Amino acid sequence: AKEGVSAEPTSRHYYNPSCQNPDVTCVRKDSSAKKLITGAIMSNDFLQQLEASHVRRMVDCMYERVYTQSQLVIQEGAAGNHLYVLAEGLLDVIQNSRLLGQMHPGTAFGELAILYNCKRTATVKAVKDSKIWVLDRQVFQNIMMSSAQAQHQEYFSFLRSVSLLKDLPEEKLSKIVDCLEVDFYDKGDYIIREGEEGNTFFIIAKGQVCVTQAVEGSQEPQEIKKLGVGDYFGEKALISEDVRSANIIADEDDTQCLVIDRDTFNQMVGTYQELQTYLREYVFQLALNDHDRRNARKKS
Ligand code: CMP
């Protein structure tokens, strides 16, 4: 059975250059329409767990359809191709010829078949002329997919700006993005403890950390330096099994680190021996520079 019989208002479709996602067609709507759709999605038990960025794009891409009195919007048992939000009017929800309830403006519906890939669980019929916002299933799926791609791109660009990774070939950097996790810390949290075994590498994505180290003649570890966004630590753990040489303590609330653990890294990227060689050389070069600096300081 086909859903609805109104022709799609294709003339209302146009590309909105402010839409962040080139794969989906945005449809201009005023702020009260956006508010109504967002509210409907957020108060639907099954849709409210979607990420805010997904919801925003769904809102952007919904287009309007008018259903006349007695017209079917959804037919029970049919395949589902759209997700809906009622803007104006009144709808009956019917299952096995039994009236289950009515839907009023500000209600999202038709989510079950779209989310769970099942047949329509109920029939939805216009009690009176109704204006309904519609999202095509394919667009919904594109939004979910492209958000993941956008996130990937965001991390990719960020990692490209990290000095350690700036010359890495594209496909390797992309592999690293695939095995990243994000960890959150509050001020004072220990991210790394000196002397412990370590198998994770961190890049600071937000906030600041403090590096401290035990020194002879002092009970308390001493602060060596602070690190900020784009700085990294624990890189030695990716190439060897050294114990941690310093403490790393979050210096701000909501400090965020991109984390890669050695096993995941080895599984995903480690087959590329040149990458490990690259990292090893980088760390070695850093140590040499450090050594040179210290020598220069001694001489002067
Ligand atoms: P879906 O199964 O995709 O299509 C029919 C829609 O009707 C369903 O998603 C829900 O959005 C809605 N629906 C199903 N059962 C009920 C119910 N008992 N009360 C209100 N709405 C319902």
* Whole-angstrom distance, CA of residue 104 vs CA of residue 150: 35
Tell which one of 47, 72, 73, 74 to mutate to probe ligand 1, the residue whose CB is within 8 A of the most ligand atoms. Answer: 74
User: For residue 123, which atom of ligand 1 is closest to its CA?
Assistant: 5
pLDDT tens track for 163-202? 878 887 888 888 888 878 778 888 999 999 999 988 888 9
Q: Does position 28 have pLDDT exceeding 70, yes or no?
A: yes
Cα–Cα distances in angstroms (integers) from residue 235 to residues 140, 163, 244, in the given order: 39, 12, 10
Give the Cβ contact number of residue 202 at 10 Å. 22
Which is more confidently placed, 9 or 81? Answer: 81
Supply the pLDDT for residue 3: 53
Q: How confident is the model at residue 152 (pLDDT cuts 50, 70, 90)?
A: confident
The 3-state secondary structure of 163-185, one letter per residue = HHHCCCCHHHHHHHHHCCEEEEE
| Span 215-222, average pLDDT | 91
Q: Does position 10 have pLDDT exceeding 60, yes or no?
A: no
Give the Cβ contact number of residue 298 at 10 Å. 7
Supply the pLDDT for residue 4: 47
State the DSSP code for 154. H
- Distance from residue 60's CA to the centre of ligand 1 (Å): 23
State pTM to two decimals. Answer: 0.55
Nearest Cα residue to 143 out of 250, 46, 60: 60
| Span 219-246, average pLDDT | 87
Two structure tokens written together for 68: 């006349």
To the nearest 10°, report the CA torsion of 120, 124, 130, 132.
-20
CB-count burial class (<10 Å; 0-12, 13-18, 19+) for 181? exposed
Supply the pLDDT for residue 184: 80
Ligand 1 surroundings by CB, under 6 angstroms: 74, 80, 93, 100-101, 109-113, 120-122, 124
Two structure tokens written together for 300: 């002067």
Supply the pLDDT for residue 18: 37
Cα–Cα distances in angstroms (integers) from residue 147 to residues 82, 182, 266, in the given order: 19, 17, 27
Which is more confidently placed, 3 or 106? Answer: 106
Supply the pLDDT for residue 262: 78
pLDDT tens track for 77-90? 999 999 999 999 99
Q: Does position 144 have pLDDT exceeding 50, yes or no?
A: yes
| Span 8-13, average pLDDT | 33
- Distance from residue 52's CA to the centre of ligand 1 (Å): 23
Mean pLDDT (the chain) is 84
Two structure tokens written together for 36: 């109504």
Supply the pLDDT for residue 221: 94
Q: Are 120 and 75 in contact (CB under 8 A)?
A: yes
pLDDT tens track for 237-260? 766 777 898 999 999 988 888 888
* Whole-angstrom distance, CA of residue 64 vs CA of residue 55: 17
Tell which one of 95, 109, 123 to mutate to probe ligand 1, the residue whose CB is within 8 A of the most ligand atoms. Answer: 109
Supply the pLDDT for residue 7: 32
Supply the pLDDT for residue 16: 35
Share of the chain above pLDDT 90, in %: 46
142: enclosing H helix or E strand: helix 137-160
Sheet containing 209-213: give its strands across.
190-192, 247-250, 209-213, 222-227
From 5-9, 37-41, 270-274, 281-285, the region with the lowest mean pLDDT = 5-9
Tell which one of 124, 125, 134 to mutate to probe ligand 1, the residue whose CB is within 8 A of the most ligand atoms. Answer: 124
